[in-house]
Amino acid sequence: MILACPFGLLSRCGKDEMTLIETLAGVQAGTPLADAIAQRAEIMGLSQASHDAVLLPRDPGGLSHAERAALAARMAGWNDDPALVAHYRTLLAKAGEPPALAAIAAGEADASLTVEPRFAAIIRHADLLTRRTRDARKEDIAALIAAGVSEPDIVRLAELAAFVNYQARVIAGLRLLGAAA
Amino acid sequence: MSRVVHEFTATVPRWAPYVTPVELDKATPEQRDAMQITPSSKGISPYVLTLAHDPESLKVRSPLFNTIMYGKGGLSSAERELGAVAASIVNSCVYCVAVHASRFNQLTKRPEVMETIFAGGVAAELEDHHQAIFDFAVKLSQSPPAAGPAEIAALRDIGLSEVEILDLILSASIFGWANRLMHTLGEPVRD
């Protein structure tokens, strides 16, 4: 019996249990893909630890666990991955779900969102880093600072956006590889 | 007077952060641990000092990156670098392209491949083996990811095994991460 270990810390996952990426990619035991992944078990474990570090950090700084989950759900939506959105909506619900964060998670246009200017700037930046990375400029960092986002929080936000985009691509790739077996 | 580098190159520039890096002598024990500081450490890069603002992420990302790019077996090092360059071209991370194009060139002694990619961008026309790897990594790196069954079939056609394709997925994807740090938190400059 293979059990998913999507929400707990890595240390709670046994070595025979699937990581979140494998679960969401629908990897089937006994397939060539499962065998290949078994050869990269260290990478799967480090990916799970990365998830915990950016979504559930011990020191969240100025980005709460709920805000991180809402932003992650939104970015998963931009990546057209409903299963990954559902995972982050579940994390958001566990963290307590203010209505404004639910709207953000659902990907509503930032003009319609009633959030304070600092968080509005954070949402715009998460969208930029997900959808148009190549267009990011020095001025975008200046805009975050002008909106009151601290420099450590700018780095935390970049790591969050970068991780979710990494994760979405690994999941998309594994699904393709599994389907083409 | 330094100038910002906008064109793709295999000559590695200097990376200049947009945010203030952590000062090494003011770093907390957790930040020092995440930066893997040892008594013999010297010259910690501005990039690592910038990422030290989020030590929990840095501590796990460094071994993840190294295992994906430099782990033993599976896809060749040069082909992992090609996947990294493809992602970095999509995201226009000039610094990332420079580092990994130069590694590709060192491994293959074939600088004309990267010159073709710099000239053609995501539409570069390459020999079949490189083309299949490059096209898959480009499409996986788009937002949203656009790789499909045809790109996977092309990878099987050039003879890549299951674990080699997995390694390509991972090396392209980890640059979806690296590009979003390096390209958005700083810029490449020449002094």
How many structural domains are present in chain B?
2
Residue A95 predicted with pLDDT over 60: yes
Q: Is the same domain home to B133 and B113? A: yes
Strand extents, DSSP E, B5-147: 14-17
Q: Is the same domain home to B93 and B110? A: yes
Q: Is the same domain home to B79 and B152? A: yes
B190 vs B43: CA distance, rounded Å = 19
Q: Is the same domain home to B100 and B54? A: no
- Interface A–B counts its CB contacts (< 8 A) at 170
Of A115-124, B5-14, B49-58, B174-183, least confident by mean pLDDT is A115-124
How many structural domains are present in chain A?
1
Name the residue range of residue B57's domain.
3-69
Of A101-110, A117-126, B120-129, B132-141, least confident by mean pLDDT is A101-110
φ, ψ (nearest 5 deg) of residue A40:
-120, 35
Q: Does residue B191 form part of some domain?
A: no
In angstroms, the separation between the Cα of residue B176 and the nearest Cα of chain A is 5
Q: Is the same domain home to B113 and B59? A: no
Q: Does residue B127 form part of some domain?
A: yes
B56 vs B65: CA distance, rounded Å = 15
List CB contacts of B121: < 8 A, sequence separation 6 or more: B89
Q: Does residue B129 form part of some domain?
A: yes
Q: Which residue from A142, A152, A162 is facing B181, i.e. has the nearest CB?
A: A162
* Domain final position from B69, B102, B121: B69
Q: Does residue A4 form part of some domain?
A: no
In angstroms, the separation between the Cα of residue A151 and the nearest Cα of chain B is 6
Mean pLDDT for all residues in chain A:
89
Q: Is the same domain home to B26 and B92? A: no
Give the pLDDT band (50/70/90) at residue A96.
Answer: confident
Give the pLDDT band (50/70/90) at residue A3.
Answer: very low
State the pLDDT at residue A14.
47
- The structure tokens listed for A130 are 């997900």
The 10s digit of each residue's pLDDT in B9-50 is 999 999 999 999 999 999 999 999 999 877 777 789 999 999
State the pLDDT at residue A112.
61
B29 vs B40: CA distance, rounded Å = 16
Average confidence (pLDDT) over A17-29: 92
Tell me the chain B residues in contact with residue A166 when contact means C-beta distances shorter than 8 Å: 173-174, 176-177
Transcribe A71-109 into DSSP letters: HHHHHHHHTT-HHHHHHHHHHHHHT---HHHHHHHTT--
CATH number at residue A119: 1.20.1290.10
Of A4-8, A145-149, B137-141, least confident by mean pLDDT is A4-8
Q: Do A158 and B180 touch (CB under 8 A)?
A: yes
Q: Is the same domain home to B90 and B163? A: yes
Average confidence (pLDDT) over A75-89: 97
Q: Give me the percent of chain A exceeding a pLDDT of 90.
A: 77
A10 vs A71: CA distance, rounded Å = 22
Residue A61 predicted with pLDDT over 60: yes
Q: Is the same domain home to B58 and B89? A: no
Residue A11 predicted with pLDDT over 60: no
Name the residue range of residue A123's domain.
10-179
Residue B187 predicted with pLDDT over 50: yes
Residue A9 predicted with pLDDT over 70: no
Highest mean pLDDT among A88-102, A104-118, B7-21 belongs to: B7-21
State the pLDDT at residue A176.
97
Q: Does residue A5 form part of some domain?
A: no
State the pLDDT at residue B40.
72
Element (H, E) at B123: none
pTM for this predicted structure: 0.94
The 10s digit of each residue's pLDDT in B63-119 is 999 999 999 999 999 999 999 999 999 999 999 999 999 999 999 999 999 999 999
Tell me the chain A residues in contact with residue B59 when contact means C-beta distances shorter than 8 Å: 53
- Interface probe for A, chosen from B151, B168, B180, B182 (most Cβ of A below 10 Å), is B180
State the pLDDT at residue A148.
97
Tell me the chain A residues in contact with residue B54 when contact means C-beta distances shorter than 8 Å: 57, 61, 152, 155-156, 159
